[in-house]
Amino acid sequence: MFVDRIKVFCQAGSGGRGSVSFRREKFVPKGGPDGGDGGRGGDVILRADRHVDNLSNLFYEPIIKAKNGGHGMGKKMHGRSAPDKIVKVPVGTIVWKDEGERGKDEGRRIKGEKETALELTSSFIPHPSSLSPIVDLTRDEQEFILCEGGAGGKGNVHFKSSRNRAPRQYTEGEEGEQGHFILELRTIADAGLIGYPNAGKSTLLRKISAARPKVAAYPFTTLHPIIGVVELSEYRRITIADIPGLIEGAHKGVGLGHEFLRHITRCRIFLFVVDTAGSEGRNPVEDIQNLRRELDLYDTRLSERPWFIIANKMDLAGGKENLKTLRKKFSKIDIVPLSAGTGEGIDELKQKLGTWLE
């Protein structure tokens, strides 16, 4: 299963309670207070991990809790600090506070208007991109404390004074932080493959990397983004994302729609893959124009990003003529003709990738 957006509830551990205890030993009558402090509650920590490719582990564990700290004990012994709860997430995970939840609390505070306030917030599904995220985990092994554990309480040793030699005071541990959050994955790759279904994006990624996306002669074979690592000359490595096929209206949710458009927002360059031969009755020039328009309608900043054309399926009849038209129509754009099926032109593409990404 591929999960790239999920709501979770996180709760850090509370601190342990301080202890009330008195020293009791042979020959030491009234030995004084010796109650130790409580231990710290565990934090909930998000850690980006490049071996994790989506958020499905949170689908099975949407409620994340760290353990509470141990209570303090006699003989000035501290309670045990709880271990942190570490949650692995893919690199490229963005976290928002779930404003809907906060809205509910505010609703409760408005006296008399309780009902309407709640009604409003329940239908309000936050669109995260309009809010500013708490954190964006973009590097492997980057960590972020989402909810901090509570400090331990103080034991009665701390309350000893000249006037109170046998204090019975202590403090409770602090509560751990908690909250509802939205986690969203936005794939980070150097280049993104963009094209209509069946253009041959997955075939191409299989050819140039060790990634194994499914290939088949029907549209929407690829259902979620897949990243491949491509080895270039001089030990250079780049990442390429195979994005599910896009069609007209994708920005409005047609086909697999904008669910996947967000995954291309963080690719440095775009590679438009077209069926140059137009083997399914498509027109490669129109295909590119349509896809460029979709990107623009989704987010105008996307159409400003560097882009190139991969003229695929050159082994099929009609490829040569259409390539000429493509070159005429997009004279300012770098075009690499190749056949992902036969492997012809792949080496040229790898060379180009190096220069495009410089």
Ligand X SMILES: Nc1nc2c(ncn2[C@@H]2O[C@H](COP(=O)(O)OP(=O)(O)OP(=O)(O)O)[C@@H](O)[C@H]2O)c(=O)[nH]1
Contact call for residue 222 and Mg ion (CB under 5 A): yes
Q: Provide the minimum distance between the beta carbon of 356 and Mg ion in the complex, in angstroms, as a whole number.
A: 22
Would you say 32 or 343 has its CB closer to ligand X? 343
Structure tokens that stand for 105 in this block: 């609390």
Residue 141 region by backbone torsions, left for phi larger than 0, else alpha for psi between -120 and 50, else beta: left
- Per-residue CA distances from 49 to 9, 53, 84, 89, 185 (Å): 21, 8, 17, 6, 12
220 binds, among Mg ion, ligand X, none (CB under 5 to 8 A by kind): ligand X
Asked if 81 is part of the footprint of Mg ion (rule: CB under 5 A), the reply reads no
**Smaller CB distance to ligand X: residue 141 or 280?**
280
| CB of 198 or CB of 322, closer to Mg ion | 198
Shortest spacing between CB 201 and Mg ion, in angstroms: 5
> Is residue 339 a contact point for Mg ion (CB under 5 A)?
no
Helix (H, G, I), strand (E, B) or coil at 207: helix
Give strand pairing partners of 179. 10
Is 221 one of the binding residues for Mg ion (CB under 5 A)?
yes
Residues that bind ligand X (CB under 6 A): 195, 197-203, 215-217, 219-222, 244-245, 312-313, 315-316, 339-341
The residue among 175 and 315 lying less far from ligand X, judged by its C-beta, is 315
Helices (H), 124-227: 201-208
Task: Check if the beta carbon of residue 99 is closer than 8 Å to that of residue 93.
Answer: no
Strands (E), the chain: 5-11, 44-48, 63-65, 85-89, 93-97, 135-137, 143-147, 178-185, 189-194, 226-231, 237-242, 267-275, 307-312, 335-337
Beta bridge partners of 226: 242
CA dihedral 316, 322, 324, 328 (to 10 degrees): -150
* Residue 312 binds Mg ion (CB under 5 A): no
> Contact with Mg ion (CB under 5 A): which of 11, 14, 198, 202?
202
* Helix axes of 346-356 and 201-208: crossing angle, nearest 10 degrees: 90
Residue 315 contacts which entry, ligand X, Mg ion, none (Cβ below 5-8 A, type-dependent): ligand X
**Minimum gap (Å) between residue 316 Cβ and ligand X:** 5
Residue 191: name its binding partner from ligand X, Mg ion, none (Cβ under 5 to 8 Å by kind): none
> Which residues partner with 189 through β-bridges?
267
219 interacts with, out of Mg ion, ligand X, none, CB within 5 to 8 A per kind: ligand X
CB 257, min distance to ligand X, A: 13
Query: Cβ of residue 225: shortest distance to ligand X, in angstroms?
Result: 11
Nearest distance, CB of residue 271 and ligand X, angstroms: 12
Smallest distance from ligand X to CB 56, Å? 20
Residues at the site binding Mg ion, with contacts judged by CB under 5 A: 202, 221-222
